[in-house]
Amino acid sequence: MLIVVLTVTALLWSVSMISRSVAFAFAVNLALMAFAGVIWSIVPIRFGRGYYRVRPFERSGRLYESLEVRLFQRVLRSSGLYGRSPFPRYVRGPTGWAVLDAATLGPETAHLLIFLVVSTLSLDVAFRGWWDTAGWLVMFNVLLNAYPVLSMRYVRVRTERLFGPSDGRRKSHPGELPNKPLQPTGGAGLGANGTVE
């Protein structure tokens, strides 16, 4: 938590030193993602397990579908920015579903913390009257942090639909797909490249 406080303090100080610009707003997000990547490779930070649990209002997936999270995932996949598979993959086997579930925790945590830092910075910039910079910060924050958080949560929602909750009350035998057709719209399924769709 100390790292987050120091980062926010440094960013707020830098705002007073740097002029308003789209480049600044974009650079802040990218710098924080790079910083998080380094930190998470050394010390993987996680919230309590209760935070990652799929909530009842999420289970149907309608929230994520109404926010076009699947469109975000398709665009990110087809862009090639993060390689062939920007999302965690399902690997068949006795613990494949649990590995997929666990692989969403780190990216979600990192993007959520960055989202909170950039939101704080956006408020500071808005209070300074730099509405254009605040707008750019919010836009990049939603695209680069909020949607990845929603995407990781949606992967867990769909994984839970296929295999049951990750707390051990799963529906199907581990490593096996359920005995029902996988629907690409409105239902969970596995894509050709092994990602949950």
- The Cα 55–Cα 6 span in angstroms is 32
pLDDT tens-place string over residues 9-52: 666 666 555 667 777 788 888 888 888 888 877 888 888 888 99
Among the listed ranges 55-64, 80-89, 155-164, which one has the minimum average pLDDT value? 80-89
DSSP 29-61: HHHHHHHHHHHHHHS-----HHHHSPPTTTTTS
User: What sign results for the dihedral spanned by CA atoms 194, 94, 100, 43?
Assistant: negative
The pLDDT assigned to 99 comes to 79
Percentage, residues of the chain above pLDDT 90: 21
What are 3's two structure tokens?
């790292």
User: In the predicted model, what is the mean pLDDT of residues 123-147?
Assistant: 91
Give the integer Cα–Cα distance in Å for 185 and 168. 26
Model pTM? 0.71
**More confident site: 182 or 160:** 160
Percentage of the chain lying above the pLDDT 70 cut: 68
1: how many CB neighbours lie within 10 A of its CB? 7
Quote the tokens at residue 132. 């254009």
Confidence check: pLDDT of 105 > 70: yes
Q: Which of 96, 112, 107 is nearest to 166 (CA)?
A: 96
Alpha-carbon dihedral 56, 94, 177, 89, rounded to 10 degrees: 70
Of 7 and 125, the structure prediction assigns the larger pLDDT to 125
In this prediction, residue 92 has a pLDDT band, given cuts at 50, 70 and 90, of confident
Task: State the pLDDT confidence band at 180, using cuts at 50, 70 and 90.
Answer: very low
Tokens of 172: 């199907």
Residues 6+ apart with CB under 8 A from 102: none
Q: What's the CA gap between 146 and 106, in Å, rounded? A: 14
* Pairwise CA distance, residues 183 & 189, whole Å: 6
Is pLDDT above 60 for 168?
no
Report how far residue 14's alpha carbon sits from residue 133's, in angstroms, rounded to the nearest whole number: 13
What is the per-residue pLDDT for 76? 82
Task: Parse the chain into domains and list their residue ranges.
Answer: 19-163
pLDDT at residue 142 tops 90:
yes
Q: Please state, rounded to an integer, the average pLDDT across all residues of the chain.
A: 76
